[in-house]
């Protein structure tokens, strides 16, 4: 079986949560069930986990075999690289499997807002990226986008120029800097992106390096994301086991429940279930 290079290489890569040694191990269905046991998880969506890029469809094939044995996962997000010469074959390979719903490729990104470079090679404005991205609609696939908030202007342009492809923003636009100025800029970028109707957001991956995950730490980010997108274009996600580096599954989901506990019941159901059910169509 192919492995995930970033998890098995002897020299760990730079990582936004710092040391990730604790997750350099198997995390299978029984581990997920144990972590989420205190919550009513009815279906799951598996996010591509940076499988060996020389065989991107291999992860999808392996996960289907896992589903056949265990019933998990219930929908998939696959890996593809839009600028590759074989992108069409890769997308065709993914969509041969019935659980496939979306593709994630992390576009090239500047390390900070001050370093933002429009049209960076490999970015969402790169013609080579866009050429491959334009194939998603043909194959009936969404795009799961992981990028820091200072690239959301390019993401809005991508959504506008390809209106038949839904973009689901991962990790809430990565608002790691919680200073007042940075949060104001994050909100503005999120509003620009959300203005495009073919966009949605997953509220996940909002841990702050060096700090424990708490409702108080993340309340403002969560409520702003829900306000900007509305509950029918927003959903909670665990990002597990990666987010175990900053909090337990129960701490994170109990925190989400506390934060939105004052919202109408229908809005809460949308955030925890209905939006994901509608967009990912888990079996």
- The pairing of beta strand 199-203 with beta strand 167-169: parallel
pTM passes above 0.95: yes
Q: Are 253 and 241 in contact (CB under 8 A)?
A: no
User: Is the pLDDT assigned to residue 1 strictly greater than 60?
Assistant: no
What pLDDT, on a 0 to 100 scale, did the predictor assign at position 244? 97
What are residue 104's phi and psi, to 5 degrees? Answer: -120, 125
User: Is the pLDDT assigned to residue 260 strictly greater than 60?
Assistant: yes
What pLDDT, on a 0 to 100 scale, did the predictor assign at position 3? 85
Model pLDDT for residues 14-53, shown as the tens digit of each residue: 999 999 999 999 999 999 999 999 999 999 999 999 999 9
> Which CATH fold would you assign to the domain 5-280?
TIM Barrel (3.20.20)
Helix residue ranges per DSSP H, the chain: 5-8, 29-35, 56-70, 87-95, 127-133, 152-161, 180-194, 215-229, 249-259, 265-269, 275-280
What pLDDT, on a 0 to 100 scale, did the predictor assign at position 2? 58
Mean pLDDT of 83-97: 97
Burial of 13 by CB count in 10 Å (0-12 exposed, 13-18 middle, 19+ buried)?
exposed
Q: Where are the domains of the chain?
A: 5-280
Element (H, E) at 144: strand 142-145
């Amino acid at each position: 079986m192919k492995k995930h290079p970033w998890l098995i290489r002897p020299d760990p890569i730079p990582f936004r949560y710092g040391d990730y040694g604790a997750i350099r191990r198997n995390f299978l269905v029984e581990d997920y069930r144990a972590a989420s046991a205190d919550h009513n998880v009815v279906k799951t969506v598996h996010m591509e986990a940076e499988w060996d890029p020389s065989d991107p469809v291999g992860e999808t094939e392996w996960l289907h075999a896992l589903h056949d044995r265990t019933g998990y996962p219930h929908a998939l997000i696959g890996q593809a690289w839009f600028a590759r010469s074989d992108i069409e074959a890769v997308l065709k390979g993914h969509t041969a499997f019935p659980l496939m719903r979306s593709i994630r490729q992390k576009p090239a990104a500047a390390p900070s807002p001050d370093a933002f470079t429009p049209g960076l090679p490999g970015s969402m404005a790169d013609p080579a990226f866009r050429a491959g991205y334009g194939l998603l609609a043909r194959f009936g696939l969404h795009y799961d986008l992981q990028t820091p908030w200072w690239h959301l202007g390019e993401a809005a342009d991508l959504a506008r120029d390809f209106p038949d492809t839904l973009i689901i923003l991962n990790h809430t636009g990565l608002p790691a800097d919680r200073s007042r100025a940075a949060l104001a800029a994050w909100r503005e970028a999120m509003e620009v992106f959300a203005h495009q109707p073919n966009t949605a957001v997953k509220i996940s991956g909002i841990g702050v390096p060096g700090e424990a995950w708490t409702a108080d730490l993340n309340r403002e980010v969560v409520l702003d994301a829900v306000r900007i997108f509305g509950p029918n274009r927003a959903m909670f996600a665990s990002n597990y086991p990666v987010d175990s580096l900053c909090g337990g599954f129960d701490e994170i989901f109990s925190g989400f429940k506390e934060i939105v506990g004052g919202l109408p019941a229908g809005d809460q159901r949308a955030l925890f279930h209905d939006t994901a059910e509608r967009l990912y169509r888990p079996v």
